[in-house]
Structure 1
Amino acid sequence: MTTSVRSRVTVADRVRAGALLLGALVQVVAGGLGGSGAFGLSVGQVAQENTTVVMPVPAAFSIWGVIYAALLVLALRGVLPGQPERPVQRATGWWLVASAVLNAGWILAFSAQAVVLAQAVIVGLLVVLAVALARLTAHPADGAADRWMLHGPVALYAGWVSVATVVGAATTGTFLGAPGAGGVATVLGALVLLVTGAIAAAVVARTAGALPYAASVVWALGAIVVMGPPLAVVVAAVVALVAVVAVAVRRVLAAPRGRRVAAAFG
């Protein structure tokens, strides 16, 4: 365990912590409304109307409930005494607030069938989460609470959004008139999944929260396989999945026995 240096809490610290808690609550509400179709069609309906060869099985999207719950815990902890003024909170807080705003915006846009806008928003969300995760990597976890209630939630979120961005790009292509199935779509889908797996494996090798990040990527890739796409897409997804798992296992086992949890969660 390391002990981070804390300075005096400021008004700006409290505002940031409060904004993050509000953002976490907004995400929960927006996610529920988006799933119900309150903004137009439900997110699932829009996805099914623009299906592609890399679409995950619908049940996979239940991971959003886990992500929202984890982010709510993260935000609640962030307002507790001694937390808002921590350097790690200052380094990541506003980026996580931005992620909450972008996620809610994506739900609104996608439900309203503004699919191109939604794709632009989720790309922005991925960039914001990448920055937040990089900043967490620069601030090693200060004990188990950081691993489970800060690094873990952000990494889980970033891993899922990494694959969701790729799936969204395929959905956007179909929305714009590109074929969602067939030879070309299958080849492109397989190639994109291989590239996604390679990038995800590289992230797992060096980021904080390696295990949660890998878990959500594996969940997404496995859900694509379960959906029953063409064989080439199945093979690509399995290869990508195995690569991510192999790197995650190697990273954990390479750490000293007493440091393996730290290596897995950062």
Structure 2
Amino acid sequence: MTSVITGATVADRVRAGALLAGALLQVVAGGLGGSGAFGLSVGVVARENTTVVMPVPAAFSIWGLIYAALLVLAVRQVLPGQPERAVHRATGWWLVASTLLNAGWILAFSAQAVVLAQVIIVALLVVLAAALARLTAHPAADAADRLTLHGPVALYAGWVSVATVVGAATTGTFLGAPGAGGVATVLGALVLLVTGAIASGVVARGAGAVPYAASVVWALGAIVAMAPPLAVVVAALVALLAIVAVAARRVLTAPPGARVPAAFG
């Protein structure tokens, strides 16, 4: 199904403006949460509740790329001819919700409301999954769609897929569960295997296969780099290799002229 232009309505323009405002809001919230200007920095709270599936701190630099990509997405969809497109009508409010939920998660986590933050990030994952599903139903019309719409949403959804799992472990530690040891290791390994299976399914069928796979692989690799127990390393590597294999198969089995569309939606 292709995007259809029917003329922008007031609702289209309101939605487009809301997404641009939300994209800017989450950048501000990210700056506050990352610097510790509001509460404790996100990194400090995470380190105080460390787990066997915690990525290395450098992995969180991917937020800068996600924020930049979403800003480009938000700016493009307010340009003439864009607000009224069917793909933006299908995904726009879901993406607005994602920006608000992300900002809320940052502020809640920085305020050490860890349980609330976990509820919010689960909601964020659901919202991004809905947006990605709608993009899957609206194949990219051109390279601009692939790079500034399907790609950014898939990248974001992939990172949040793993961040939700890491957040669940962090919440457990915050509530008193052991962050390390035999039980934590077994649970961590099992959760990563399940995450890998689900992510592989998304890569096989959803829009933005390569960007989604790249962000999940980035997160899993960052967990391995933290040198967790062997079982967690093995589980993360199995999940990582499965996702890479599925992404490569999807791209390589597509006709030569369709390989980029297959990768980006």
Partner residue in 2 for 1:214? 213
Specify the code of the residue in structure 1 equivalent to 2:43: G
Quick check: 2:49–2:179 contact (8 Å CA) kept in 1?
Answer: yes
Partner residue in 2 for 1:246? 245
Structure 2 length as normaliser, TM-score? 0.99
- Whether 1:260 and 2:223 are equivalent positions in the alignment is no
Quick check: 2:101–2:124 contact (8 Å CA) kept in 1?
Answer: yes
Partner residue in 2 for 1:182? 181
Specify the code of the residue in structure 1 equivalent to 2:181: G
1:164 and 1:5 map into 2 onto residues whose CA distance is: 35
Partner residue in 2 for 1:24? 23
Specify the code of the residue in structure 2 equivalent to 1:254: T
Specify the code of the residue in structure 1 equivalent to 2:175: L
2:4 and 2:61 map into 1 onto residues whose CA distance is: 38
Any gaps of 5 or more consecutive residues in structure 1?
none
1:210 and 1:263 map into 2 onto residues whose CA distance is: 7
For residues 109-148 of structure 1, the aligned pairs below 5 Å read 109-148=108-147
Shift of 1:4: 2.8
Figure out how many residues of one structure are paired with residues of the other and give that number. 265
Change (3 A) 1:3 1:264: same
Quick check: 2:2–2:139 contact (8 Å CA) kept in 1?
Answer: no
Partner residue in 2 for 1:92? 91
Q: CA RMSD in A?
A: 0.7
Shift of 1:5: 1.9
Q: What does the per-residue CA deviation read over 1:82-126, in whole Å, with 9 as the maximum and x for residues that have no partner? A: 000000000000000000000000000000000000000000000
List structure 1 runs of 4+ shifted beyond 4 angstroms: none
Specify the code of the residue in structure 2 equivalent to 1:212: P
Partner residue in 1 for 2:64? 65
Shift of 1:3: 5.6
SS at match of 1:221: helix
1:180 and 1:5 map into 2 onto residues whose CA distance is: 50
Specify the code of the residue in structure 2 equivalent to 1:240: A
Partner residue in 1 for 2:104? 105
SS at match of 1:51: coil
2:42 and 2:244 map into 1 onto residues whose CA distance is: 29
Shift of 1:38: 1.4
Specify the code of the residue in structure 1 equivalent to 2:157: A
Specify the code of the residue in structure 2 equivalent to 1:96: L
1:238 and 1:54 map into 2 onto residues whose CA distance is: 12
Specify the code of the residue in structure 2 equivalent to 1:247: V
Quick check: 2:76–2:82 contact (8 Å CA) kept in 1?
Answer: yes
Partner residue in 2 for 1:80? 79
Q: What does the per-residue CA deviation read over 1:56-101, in whole Å, with 9 as the maximum and x for residues that have no partner? A: 0000000000000000000000000000000000000000000000
